[in-house]
Amino acid sequence: RREYRLHTRRQRLHRLHMAKVCYICGKQKVSGNEISHSHIATKRTFGANLQKKPVEVDGKLTKKYICTRCLKSLKKDA
């Protein structure tokens, strides 16, 4: 008889990592096609340009992922 664990190690580690999504606007990965010279399309993902920056949340500074476009607008407003 085989014993089943409730959660595998990979599942536990997966819950620890945050998704790479912009904290302000929600920008994330987008899928599309990579087109070769012979016009063969293969699937690929385009990642957002996210930087980990300190942000004030509920009066505390925590590091969150913010896209560079939001960083630019935050810098402009400050």
Contact call for residues 70 and 21 (beta carbons, < 8 A): no
CA trace torsion 36, 41, 43, 47 (10° rounding): 50
CB 51 within 8 A of CB 65: yes
CA distance 75 to 12: 37
Predicted confidence (pLDDT) per residue in 55-77, tens digit: 888 899 999 999 999 999 988 88
Q: Give the predicted TM-score (pTM) of the model.
A: 0.68
pLDDT above 90 for 50: yes
pLDDT: which is higher, 9 or 74: 74
Percent pLDDT > 90 in the chain is 62
